[in-house]
Chain A
Amino acid sequence: NAGVMQNPRHLVRRRGQEARLRCSPMKGHSHVYWYRQLPEEGLKFMVYLQKENIIDESGMPKERFSAEFPKEGPSILRIQQVVRGDSAAYFCASSPLNQGAPQHFGDGTRLSIL
């Protein structure tokens, strides 16, 4: 049973480009969470999704960031017109349907903006 799969592991973009980060949850998991870890800082919640629904996006920056979890395929975190401050590690986690179940984390995508 594969764990949470994130790709790419490393992504380099120039300022102004778009970054697309993908997350495939564990088999049987219908909840996906995205977290961001800025350099030398702790993890911060960004967004919580279920299939085709955004449940809580209170941690998402107001502009340039969007997330989706379509009926088919992985969850996508999209950052438009990237800036240097977007450089961070982005982690995805998933959990099954039942409330309070532990979240399983992926290995993260390290985004570097040149």
Chain B
Amino acid sequence: KNEVEQSPQNLTAQEGEFITINCSYSVGISALHWLQQHPGGGIVSLFMLSSGKKKHGRLIATINIQEKHSSLHITASHPRDSAVYICAVPSIQGAQKLVFGQGTRLTINP
């Protein structure tokens, strides 16, 4: 079973701050997913990455396969970034079966 740990569980910051959310997993993987769940509950897939770094707007995701660790960064954070960010990796029982972290609840205050 692939275990996924996220930190911190909760994060509150001021608008404009640089945000980092971390994800560690226990078993080697082919790709890692970062998801965003807004207060309304819907889930959006932000990134799927298997090596290096990906960038989309103010969001940056990095992964270190050797260390089994990924980070999600948000630059120039804004209150609309307030959401739960979830890391997910494939289960060792099947690549299509995702195992999820508990999520990091991010609150950005104006």
Contacts and interface: CB of A to CB of B under 8 A. Distances in A.
Interface string A18-31: 00000000000001
A54 B61 CA distance: 33
A89 interface: yes
Given A100-B31, A102-B33, A48 B42 contact: no
Interface residues of A, number: 26
B66 interface: no
Interface of A: 31, 33, 35, 41-45, 48, 55-56, 58-59, 89, 91, 95, 99-100, 102-108, 110
A77 B109 CA distance: 39
A102 B49 CA distance: 10
B41 A108 contact: yes
A59 B1 CA distance: 13
B65 interface: no
